[in-house]
A and B are shown apart, each in its own frame.
Chain A
Amino acid sequence: MDAFLHQIFSGLANGCIYGSVGLGLVMIYQATHHINFAQGEMATFSTFIAWALIQSGWPYWAAFFVTVAISFIAGLVIQRIILRPVEKSPVLTNVIVFIGLLVIFNSMAGWIFDHTIKSFPSPFAQKGMLVTPWFSAHEVGSALVMLAVLFALYAFFRFTPIGLAMRAAAQNPDSARLVGIRVSWMLAMGWGLAAAIGSVAGMMVAPVVFLDPNMMGGILLYGFAAALLGGIDNPGGAVIGGFIVGVLENLLGAYVIGTELKLSVALVLIVGTLTLKPDGLFGKQVVTRV
């Protein structure tokens, strides 16, 4: 029983990681109706920037917030400069641009920071007050951080004028323009926010999985699964989706099918769930009028 509980808790901890990546994906989707394949690599690159700052002596939290700010600006700039030209192009053209960004970020990270793994510090003291028998201090800390981000996002979209404007711009760009919302800038802000969330995710993940250019490669699929399982337009759903994916992954591997077929079973699960609930567990059903 002990081991079983432990697997679940470990799954929840992993789920935090997946959920935070999923949050970034949902963010971009809500703002632009595209799925950003480069989300993982951008997060990794941001984490490298933070690492470089810490290496040159900056205290952790200073590096943390500066990295978030830099990532926000970078996301904004990328949308304005690189994505603007293909805004009106078909979906798949945008997908290819995202793939281009993915390989560029991955390659640049490897070139600038090289491929050996680096350790990234955790701000949550190993033996501090957050330690519990089931979770390490860092796991608790990063869960709290992610929830904080989630609530901040919720508050931002619900209660601030800019948040409202962004939601309007994504839902109905033409009407939004008619009421004076600068839709292009809303898209750019969406990217900025997603990049910022991604950098937070990266900095929370790196102490666990260690930092190298391919850090997010394996995690991205699980982030996707988390976002889609929870409904691609629902940030809370992404977090819950993350927990579900994390726990299921652990339980499947440990008790059901063994580690050698884990991915196949995960595939069947994802497909099965989506077949039963095509808009994700918590997604809004999209009805198209004929």
Chain B
Amino acid sequence: MLADPLTATFSALADPTRRAILARLSQGETSVTELAEPFEMTLPGISKHLKVLERAGLIARGREAQWRPCRLEPGPLKDVSHWVEHYRKFWEQSLDRLGDYLKELQAKERKQRHRKKSG
């Protein structure tokens, strides 16, 4: 016998632990272990709650084992690291040039000071 969606949702939300789990998941996907951490609960205990939430359609779980780590789509993450590498090159070269420029500046200053002394 399947409960109507409203009943399932209400009973899923009626438990403070399950509400806390939902709050945590709204911040991003995570593993069952991480979810269990703030509560003094065993993994099977948390899994029971997750089942209720899943049946109510409030969460989706993968078919893999419990140890699903926080995972982002590889596409966007790859784009970001490509950009970061590009950005790092910019700074490596700019700072190389800054180093050279500072040497030049100080050499000029020393020459000017030397001229003043002997002038």
**Chain A complexes with chain B:** no
Residues of B within 8 A of A (CB): none
